[in-house]
Amino acid sequence: MIKTKLLDKYADARAEMILLLKERGIADESVLKAMSEVERHLFIPLPLRNHAYDDAALPIGEGQTISQPYTVAIMTEELHVKELDKVLEIGTGSGYQTAILAAMGIRVFTIERLPGLLKTAKQVLESLNVRFVSKMSDGTIGWREFSPFDGILVTAGAPEIPKPLIEQLKVGGKLVIPVGSQDFQQMKIVTKVDENNRCEIIDKADFKFVPLIGKEGWHEDDSR
């Protein structure tokens, strides 16, 4: 352990990132602890690693991005999940959000539609001994086999809330999803209130995500 700390030249930058998250209002200790432990730079392409702890989204290839630390923190906090809960993540991307959830003791199921990104993310996560279950697929239809979930996190912007995701939530569970145009989206916190898939929806601030592409999302030929 001590050896890892000495070799971790990013430890100070990571501590500063945590301070900034606190200043911006992130208060959930389990989220802050996970984000102070997981080495974000390992999920960033080498040439950009010096920016790994900036509060910014960064390119990870194939036109996709790793979400900025504040966005990861607020989405995870809004899920209100705890150790051993089951969470479905749509959009594995770099694998960073997967690692954060796993560090919180959550059982993570993650879906990515681009094979190249999933391959790289799996390699990084496996090298860190992160426990997760993943598949390459269209996440807009969820993952019925492992449902119902305590929480569902969508890390790409949707035109509307995909129905299958509500169906695959437990009653009382939350779906955190950015919804809007392809240019910007409003973060929605959707709580399933009964077995008939009725929901309460709270709108949060605006964000900008890459598009969620799939059956219940944007279609590949939708013009931007």
> Is 30 among the residues known to form the active site?
no
Nearest to 34 by CA among 98, 104, 96: 104
Torsion angle defined by CA atoms of residues 95, 115, 185 and 16, in that order, rounded to the nearest 10 degrees: 20
Query: Read out DSSP for 41-87?
Result: GGGS-GGGGGGTTSSS-EEEETTEEEPPHHHHHHHHHHH---TT-EE
Taking each helix axis from N to C end, the angle separating 11-23 and 69-79, rounded to the nearest 10 degrees, works out to 60
**Which parts of 44-73 interact with ligand SAH (CB under 6 A)?**
64-67
The size of the chain, in residues, is 224
Q: Is 20 helix (H, G, I), strand (E, B) or coil?
A: helix
Beta strands, E only, 123-215: 133-136, 149-154, 169-180, 185-192, 199-207
- Applying CB under 6 A, the span of 30-38, 78-86, 133-141, 195-203 interacting with ligand SAH comes to 133-141
76 binds ligand SAH (CB under 6 A): no
Least Å from the CB of residue 185 to ligand SAH: 12
Q: What angle do CA 31, 32, 38 make, to 5 degrees?
A: 85
- Applying CB under 6 A, the span of 106-114, 122-130, 143-151, 190-198 interacting with ligand SAH comes to 106-114
Size of the site for ligand SAH (CB under 6 A): 25
For ligand SAH, the binding residue among 113, 122, 174, 188 (CB under 6 A) is 113
When CB distances to ligand SAH are compared, the closest residue is 93
**Which parts of 189-218 interact with ligand SAH (CB under 6 A)?**
210, 212-214, 217
For ligand SAH, the binding residue among 74, 85, 91, 103 (CB under 6 A) is 91
Least Å from the CB of residue 43 to ligand SAH: 7
For ligand SAH, the binding residue among 76, 120, 134, 155 (CB under 6 A) is 155
Nearer to ligand SAH, 172 or 175 (CB): 175
Nearest to 147 by CA among 133, 136, 160: 133
The answer to whether residues 184 and 160 touch, using CB atoms and an 8 Å cutoff, is no
For ligand SAH, the binding residue among 21, 31, 44, 111 (CB under 6 A) is 111
User: Which one from 30, 36, 67, 181 is the annotated catalytic residue?
Assistant: 67
For ligand SAH, the binding residue among 88, 114, 165, 177 (CB under 6 A) is 114
Q: Which two tokens stand for residue 22?
A: 């606190």
Residues at the site binding ligand SAH, with contacts judged by CB under 6 A: 64-67, 90-91, 93-94, 96-97, 111-114, 117, 138-140, 155-156, 210, 212-214, 217
The residues annotated with a catalytic role in the active site are 67
